[in-house]
Structure 1
Amino acid sequence: MNSALWSSEERALFNPAFTAMVCARVVQGHAAKHGPACPLVIVMTSAVMALQPAVRTLLPRSTSASMPKWAEDNEVVRVHMAANTRGLVGAVRPGLLFAMQTGVLVVESSALSLRRRAIPVALPDTASEATAIQRAAHMLGRWLPTVGATATILTLLGVRP
């Protein structure tokens, strides 16, 4: 995904400030269920998934859903992840760096933590796409680690590290 070829809508959506917020929401969700330090691979994978409308709409409503079963029932997710991960990682990376440079996210032994009060705890109560992305990112931060090893998560999604 070459940023020079992005539409004005894509440039607005994939700006570093917004993708930093998406990464922060992943870490925030992770901290709510698994502890404050979120592995980088979870942050990147969750952000990439949340930014894809075709994947986002297929996410389960509950974090108690079985990810292996969900991945089996939604094989199209593997297609979307294979097609879009490389480009979206290129969009998420500047946001992740921005979040670290501004101190919103802090690196702690190869994982990321959210600085206290760096972002609002409550998610916006709107029906916008930006809110839907943040909600999905928060949910994915809680849900993806329930599978276990990150290699298992990536395999289920058809993504290579």
Structure 2
Amino acid sequence: MPRHSRDAPREEYLLYNPAFLSLLLRRSSEGFERERTTVGMSTLLAYVAVSMSLRIDMRSALTMTVASKLGTWTNDNAKVVTLIAPTCTALLPYLNNALMFGLNHRIFTLHHGRLHPTDQGPKKTISGVTSEVQDCQKAALYLGRWFALSGSESTVSALLGVRP
């Protein structure tokens, strides 16, 4: 389990805690299921969505409209795209921890490698103590929707430069 030094910045500690990352995993899976109701979101795409939603440079590059074409966005934001895979790799231990936290607290379920939000999770209304917490949740929800509309898992992950 990853540990945070007491010397780590408070914001970093709060962003990477399992409860918050579980919430973002749930938000991304909610967005995905809003568009593709029966499939569930792959853990790979959920991890990518959360990783992107945590970085302000990635959030600010998002169009926040699901009508945008992912291929066009990746071409227009090549510098941001090069940061996605290393960010996912760096966050992997935290995301694995968050996945277990979310499953243990029934925030979502996992069936055949796909996340499904449960009825027991947080309110659908996005709220948070800071605007950054709210922005991360909005981005995770949006990315879940966008990925669901952008093609297969292999297409989306290839466009974003990530591999399982």
TM value normalised by structure 2:
0.89
State the partner residue of 2:139: 136
Q: Distance in 1 between matches of 2:141 and 2:119?
A: 16
State the partner residue of 1:30: 32
Farther off after superposition, 62-71 or 143-152: 143-152
Q: How many residues align?
A: 161
State the partner residue of 2:13: 11
Report how far residue 51 of structure 1 moved. 0.9
Runs ≥4 residues deviating over 6 A: none
| Change in 2 beyond 3 A, CA 1:25/1:54 | same
State the partner residue of 2:64: 61
Q: Deviations over 1:53-112 (max 9, x none)?
A: 111110112101000001000101222113322112222221111000111111123211
| Matching residue's letter, 1:155 | A
State the partner residue of 1:100: 103
Q: Distance in 1 between matches of 2:162 and 2:77?
A: 15
Gaps of 5+ in 1: none
Report how far residue 125 of structure 1 moved. 7.6
Q: Deviations over 1:11-54 (max 9, x none)?
A: 11110010010001011111211115222122111111111111
Aligned residues with identical type, % of pairs = 24
Secondary structure, aligned partner of 2:61: coil
Gaps of 5+ in 2: none
| Matching residue's letter, 2:154 | A
Which residues in structure 2 correspond to 1:65-144 (within 5 Å)?
A: 65-124=68-127, 128-144=131-147
8 Å Cα contact 1:19-1:92 kept in structure 2? yes
Report how far residue 2 of structure 1 moved. 7.7
8 Å Cα contact 1:54-1:80 kept in structure 2? no
State the partner residue of 2:162: 159
Quote the RMSD (CA, aligned, Å). Answer: 2.0
State the partner residue of 2:23: 21
